[in-house]
């Protein structure tokens, strides 16, 4: 039987997503306009939305989105 290698994350998912978004945006800024750059920016936007949704879910006064 294989043993799973487990480790405790040092940063929260939100912190890791924010750092990843920053890194992806820096990479995209170095690329010329085109499909590769657009794909990176799309991934960054999706991660940003995930971060905002997480904030919304964790908020004390949970309100439906407008």
Cβ atoms of 54 and 14 within 8 Å: the answer is yes
Say if residue 64's pLDDT is above 70.
Answer: no
Say if residue 59's pLDDT is above 80.
Answer: no
Interval 5-16 mean pLDDT: 87
C-alpha dist (Å) from residue 18 to 4, 14, 44, 52: 27, 6, 9, 11
Give the number of residues written for the chain: 66
Kindly report the pTM of this predicted structure. Answer: 0.72
Per-residue pLDDT reduced to its tens digit, 20-58:
999 999 999 999 999 999 999 999 999 999 988 888 788
Determine the pLDDT at residue 43: 94
Determine the pLDDT at residue 47: 92
């Amino acid at each position: 039987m294989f043993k799973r290698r487990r480790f405790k994350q040092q940063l929260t998912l939100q912190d890791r997503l924010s750092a990843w978004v920053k890194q992806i945006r820096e990479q995209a800024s170095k690329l010329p306009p085109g499909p590769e750059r657009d794909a990176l920016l799309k991934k960054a936007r999706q991660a940003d939305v995930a971060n905002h949704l997480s904030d919304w879910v964790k908020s004390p006064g949970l309100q439906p989105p407008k």
